[in-house]
Structures are given as structure tokens and as C-alpha cells.
Amino acid sequence: MRASEVEIELASTVADERAILRVLYTYCHTIDYGDEAGWVGLFTSDGIFHVELPRGLPPIHCAGQKELAAFIGAHPRAPAALHKHLLLNPLIELNGDQARAASYFQLLLEIDGTPETYCFGRYLDRLVRSESGQWRFRERVAQVQSMRADDFPRNV
């Protein structure tokens, strides 16, 4: 490859990684503040959101726009529920119009007026570039590795 080709390839890779990071971060903002359309719009039309829970709790599974919309529609949000989904240490692997990302998450939740870690774990994502050039989740798996043992709502 010539220097100009390398520069173009590098610029394209950086742009794709930044666009994917924007999807990962936008997920957190939309779920915390109830932007239902924005959250659903992060997924492909056949997108999957799957949450694996510890201690033998049944998983949460949503497939397709209708189930995703139902999930986010029932999700607590500010100001009634104060929580922050934090995304940490994302690793992105690009493969043309497809990508995989693995990252850690921590969910902060206000409990009895005190901010606490409600749960933490990792996200395993498969993303695709849409015809419009936007990156979307084809599948987001949230592996909750530890969570509070009390009876707080599971859908935070």
C-alpha cells in the first residue's frame, strides 16, 4: 500500500470506531433519560437485546423492534428513577460492514437517596453498518456478572 492508501484506510477505521463508540455511549444516555425512539433506533429492525442474569434468574430477551419498544417503554427513567449506565473499556473489532465490541458496564442507581452500584458485567455486541451508513446493534448481550440481592426492579 502507498502512504495515501494507508492514510485513507486509517481514517476510515478511526471514523468507524468513533461511530461505533457513539452507538455504545448513546445507548447509555437514551436508556437513562427515556429516549425510547432513540434507544430502539440503535438496533436493526431484527435486533436482539439479551440480558443474562446471575443466581439462576431468568434472562431478559427482546427480539425485533416491537419487543425492544415494549422493553424500553416499561423501563424506569429520570426523574422518577435516577440511574446511570456506565460503559467502560470498549474493545472494537472491525470486519468491513460488521463489527464486534466487548466492554464492561456498571449500573449506578440511587437507592434510598444514596448512589450505589446496582450491578456490573460486560456487553458483547454485534453491530452492522446500515444502508444509510449508520452503525446499529444486530445483537447486544448484557452479561450481568454481579448484582444486588434485594428486590429492586430487574429492568433498570
**124 assigned to some structural domain:** yes
Whether the pTM exceeds 0.75: the reply is: yes
Is position 155 within any domain?
no
In a domain, 106, yes or no: yes
> How far is it, in rounded angstroms, from Cα 144 to Cα 59?
10
On whether residue 131 sits in a domain, the answer given is: yes
So what's the pLDDT on residue 50?
98
For residue 96, give the amino acid letter: G
pLDDT of 152 reads 46
Indicate whether 81 belongs to any domain.
yes
* CATH number (domain holding residue 132): 3.10.450.50
- pLDDT by 10s per residue, the chain, length 156: 676 877 778 788 899 999 999 999 999 999 999 999 999 999 999 999 999 999 899 999 999 999 999 999 999 988 888 999 999 999 999 999 999 999 999 999 988 889 999 999 999 999 999 999 999 999 999 999 999 987 545 455
> What is the tally of structural domains in the chain?
1
Q: What is the pLDDT of residue 1?
A: 63
Q: Does residue 117 lie in a domain region?
A: yes
Segments forming the whole domain that contains residue 19:
3-147
- 41 is a domain residue: yes
Residue 154 domain-assigned? Answer: no
